[in-house]
Amino acid sequence: MNRIQTYWRVWRLTGFNALQVAFVHRGTNIFFLLGKMFRFSISLLFLLLIKQSVSTLGGYSSDEMLVFFLVYQVIDSFSQALFRNVYVFGNQVKNGELDFLLIKPLNPLFRILTDKPDINDLLFLLPTVGVSFYLLSTLTISVTPVSILLFAVLFVNALVIALALHILIVAIAVSIVEIEGLVWLYRDLTSLGRFPVSIYHESIRLVLFFLIPIGLMLTVPAQVLLNLKPSVGIALVFGITGLLLLSSLQFWKYSLKKYTSASS
Amino acid sequence: MWRFRQFLSSLMSLTVWSVLFTSQTNVFGYNRAEMISYIFMAAILHGLVLASALYGLAERIYSGDISSLLLKPVSLFSYLAIEEVADKGRNILATLIESGILIALFQPEIVLPSAYTTVVFLLWAAGGVILNFLFSLLFGTLGFWSPDTWGPKFLFFIFLDFSAGKLFPLNILPDWLQSALFLTPFPYLTFMQTQVFLGKVAIDKILIHSSALLLWIVLFYLLNKFLWHWGFKNYAAQGQ
C-alpha cells in the first residue's frame, strides 16, 4: 500500500508540474484544445451525415458506428493523457536524462511513461465524455448493465494494451533514439480504430487484431458495449493482452541490458 | 514514416468509402468510381500540395538558424523555394508508390478527365502549390515574435486536413458550412482541384474559381511581403 502511495505522490507531483507548464504556455494550449475539439466535431459531423444517408456500414448500423467512434475517442484520449511523456523519451535518451531515471528508487518505466500527463487531453476528456453520454442516450442501441460492466473491464484491458504498446515503443527508442515517427505511427494505427477494425481488408484485420492489437483495444470493447458478438473471444482478448504485456516487458529488460548510457 | 502515415490515412478513407458503396450506388451525389477517384486524387494532391519542407521555418527563425541563410549569395526565398521543390519531388515519388499499392489492394475504377479539364487541373494544382508555399512562409513569420508556434500550427494542420477533404469531400457538408469554407482560401489548396478532375465544376464556374485562386495568391503574397519586412526589422539573430 505504501508503495502505491509513493507512486501516487510522484504522479501527483509530475501532474501538478505539467499543469503549471500548461498555464505558462496557456496560449499554445488553447490552440491545442481548440484543434482537438475541432477534429472531434468534424469526425462526429461526418458520422452524423453518414447516418442521414446510409443505414448500414459493413454490417453495423449508423448508430453503432457512432459508438465505435466514441469508444475510440475516449480510450485514445485517456491513454494519450496518461502516457504523453513517451513523446519526449527520445530526448531523454539523447541527453542522458534516462540515467537519472534508472537510478531512482522507482520503476523507471513509471516515470518514462507517465511524467508530464497531457493536461490538454485531460481537459478534452470532459467534453468528450459529456458528448458521448449525451449521444449514447439518443441512439437506438442495445446497452445493458452487463454489457456496461464488461465494457468497463475491457476499457481497463484497452489501457493495458496501450501501456504494452507504449512500453514496446520506449524499448525500441532505447536503441534507435529517434522515437517521434514511431509514436506517430502508433497514433495513426489507433486512428484506424475510429471505425470497426472488422471492416478492413482481411490481412490488415489480422494485423490489427493479433499483431498490433488495436482491434482488441478499440473494436472489441465497443462490440461488447453494443451487445454484439465480439470479433475475437473475450478469453482470447485477455490472453493476447497478457502475452503482449509480458513480451513488451521482456523486450524492455533486454533493451536496458543493451543500453550503454553513451549520451551521459 | 510521414509517408507511411499518409498511406494509412488513405487506406482508412478508401476502406470506409468502399464499404459504404457495398450497400449503396450513390452517396452524397457521388457514385463509387467518382468517390474512389476522389480519394486517390485527394491523396496525391496531399502529397503534392500540402507536404512542405517549411513547416519548421518558425523555429529556424526564432533560433536564429536562418542567419546563415541570409549570408548566402542566394535570396532567402529562392533558397526556401528550392527546398520546397526538392521536398515535393520526394513526396510525389512516394505518393506514386503508395497509390500503386492502394490500386493493387482496391483495384478501383478511376474516372479520368478530358484534355481541357486536365490542363485546368494542372494549373490549379500549381496554384495550390504556390498558395501552400505562401501559407508556410506566413506561418514562418510567427518565429520573429514567438517561440510558441506549435499551438497555432496544430490548429492550422487540423483545419488543413479537414479542408483538404482527405476523409470526405467538402461538398457533402451542409450548404451553410460550405459557403463559410469558400470565404477562406482552404478549398483552393486541393479540394477544387479534385472537383475539376472529376468534371464536377461547370465550365462557366472555372473562370470564377481561377480568379478566386489567383486573388488568394496575390493577397497572401502581399501579406507575406509586409510581415517578412516587418519581421526582419525586429530580427536580432539571437542564438547565433
Predicted pLDDT at B70:
85
Q: pLDDT tens-digit profile of A11-40?
A: 999 888 888 888 888 888 888 889 888 888
A182: nearest Cα among A154, A204, A212: A212
User: Is residue B40 scored above 90 in pLDDT?
Assistant: no
Closest Cα of chain B to A73: distance in Å?
16
Contact list in B for residue A191 (CB cut-off 8 A) is: 8-9, 12
Banded pLDDT at B1 (limits 50, 70, 90): low
Average pLDDT score, chain A:
88
Asked if the Cβ–Cβ distance from A188 to B5 is below 8 Å, we say yes
Contact assessment for residue A85 and residue A116, using Cβ atoms and an 8 Å cutoff: yes
Closest Cα of chain A to B148: distance in Å?
6
Banded pLDDT at B55 (limits 50, 70, 90): confident
Average pLDDT score, chain B:
85
Number of A to B CB contacts under 8 A, please give it: 88
Give the closest of B22, B148, B172 to A27, CB-based: B148
Mutation pick from A65, A201, A205, A207 vs chain B, by most beta carbons of B within 10 Å, is: A201
Banded pLDDT at B165 (limits 50, 70, 90): confident
Q: What cell was used for B210?
A: 481561377
Banded pLDDT at B133 (limits 50, 70, 90): very high
- C-alpha Rg value of chain A to the nearest Å: 19
CA distance A230 to B162: 32
Banded pLDDT at B240 (limits 50, 70, 90): low
B126 or A46, which is more confident? B126
User: Is residue B125 scored above 90 in pLDDT?
Assistant: yes
Asked if the Cβ–Cβ distance from A57 to B20 is below 8 Å, we say yes
The single-letter DSSP state of residue B240 is -
Predicted TM-score of the model (pTM):
0.84
Asked if the Cβ–Cβ distance from A185 to B154 is below 8 Å, we say no
User: Is residue A85 scored above 90 in pLDDT?
Assistant: no
CA distances from A59 to A45, A122, A237, B20, B225 (A): 21, 33, 22, 10, 54
Find residue B26's DSSP bridge partners.
Answer: B31
* Domain ranges, ordered by start, for chain A: 2-258
Give the closest of B4, B9, B158 to A35, CB-based: B158
Contact list in A for residue B1 (CB cut-off 8 A) is: 181-182, 184-185
For A57-62, what is the mean pLDDT?
83
The complex's ipTM? 0.79
- Sequential DSSP letters for B103-169: HHHH--------HHHHHHHHHHHHHHHHHHHHHHHHHHGGGGT-S--HHHHHHHHHHHHHHTTSSS-
The nearest alpha carbon in chain B to A62 belongs to B20
Give the closest of A30, A58, A189 to B8, CB-based: A189
Asked if the Cβ–Cβ distance from B24 to A57 is below 8 Å, we say no
The nearest alpha carbon in chain B to A34 belongs to B155
Banded pLDDT at A62 (limits 50, 70, 90): confident
The nearest alpha carbon in chain A to B21 belongs to A57
For B65-84, what is the mean pLDDT?
87
- Residue B54 backbone zone (phi > 0: left; psi -120 to 50: alpha; other: beta): alpha
The nearest alpha carbon in chain B to A188 belongs to B5
Contact assessment for residue A6 and residue B127, using Cβ atoms and an 8 Å cutoff: no
Predicted pLDDT at B239:
62
Contact list in B for residue A208 (CB cut-off 8 A) is: none
Collapsing DSSP states into helix, strand and coil, what is residue B29? Answer: coil
Predicted pLDDT at A88:
85
For B218-230, what is the mean pLDDT?
94
Contact list in A for residue B27 (CB cut-off 8 A) is: 53-54
